[in-house]
């Protein structure tokens, strides 16, 4: 799993360098990974809360989302940025010629899935499902 996150970090790092954010590419790569991970956690929570336990009366505090984002960022900070670990990751991943498929597919699928979840909930509230 760590190798997969290293691969994603490397791809997002070079994406940031190509866009022109080379000086802050490690930080933004970490933010991208944090955001994508949060999207997937949100999708899981939405499916669980909207469709599995809809009548249980569970109250979700919106502040928990902020706490989850902070925790994810801290985890990714220690995985990539602390003690300049990103330099080692870039050197190790540089000569592995992997495709960009997963780096493109994961954020795209997360965006589509989260939109499908709220659309299904909207249709459920309207009584069409």
Nearest Cα to 31, choosing from 69, 84, 86?
A: 69
Q: How many CB atoms lie within 10 A of CB 75?
A: 15
The parts of the chain modelled with pLDDT lower than 70 are 54-58
Q: What is the pLDDT of residues 29-51, one digit of tens each?
A: 999 999 999 999 999 988 888 87
Tokens at residue 41, please?
A: 């956690």
State the pLDDT at residue 96. 84
What does the pLDDT read at residue 98?
Answer: 83
Q: Spell out a b/e string for 110-121, using b for 16 or more CB atoms within 10 Å of the CB, else e.
A: beebeeebeebb
Mean residue pLDDT of the chain comes to 90
Range 80-83, long-range pairs (CB < 8 A, 24+ positions): 80/9, 80/26, 80/29, 80/30, 80/33, 81/26, 81/27, 81/30
Our measurement of the distance from residue 98's CA atom to the centroid of its chain's CA atoms, rounded to an integer in Å, reads: 20
Could you tell me if 76 and 34 are in contact, meaning their C-beta atoms sit under 8 angstroms apart? yes
Report yes or no on whether pTM surpasses 0.75.
Answer: yes
- The whole-number pLDDT of residue 56 equals 67
Q: Give me the pLDDT at residue 55, please.
A: 66
Instruction: Give the list of residues 6+ apart from residue 42 with CB closer than 8 angstroms, or none.
Output: 65, 114
């Amino acid at each position: 799993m760590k190798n997969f996150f290293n691969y994603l970090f490397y791809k997002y790092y070079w994406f940031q360098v190509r866009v022109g954010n080379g000086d802050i590419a490690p930080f933004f790569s970490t933010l991208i990974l944090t955001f994508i991970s949060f999207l997937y956690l949100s999708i899981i929570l939405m499916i669980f809360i909207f469709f599995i336990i809809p009548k249980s009366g569970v109250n979700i505090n919106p502040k928990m989302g902020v706490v989850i984002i902070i925790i994810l960022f801290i985890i990714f900070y220690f995985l990539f940025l602390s003690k300049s670990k990103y330099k080692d990751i870039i050197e190790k991943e540089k000569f592995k010629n992997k495709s960009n498929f997963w780096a493109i597919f994961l954020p795209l699928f997360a965006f589509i899935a989260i939109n499908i979840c709220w659309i299904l909930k909207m249709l459920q509230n309207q009584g069409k499902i």
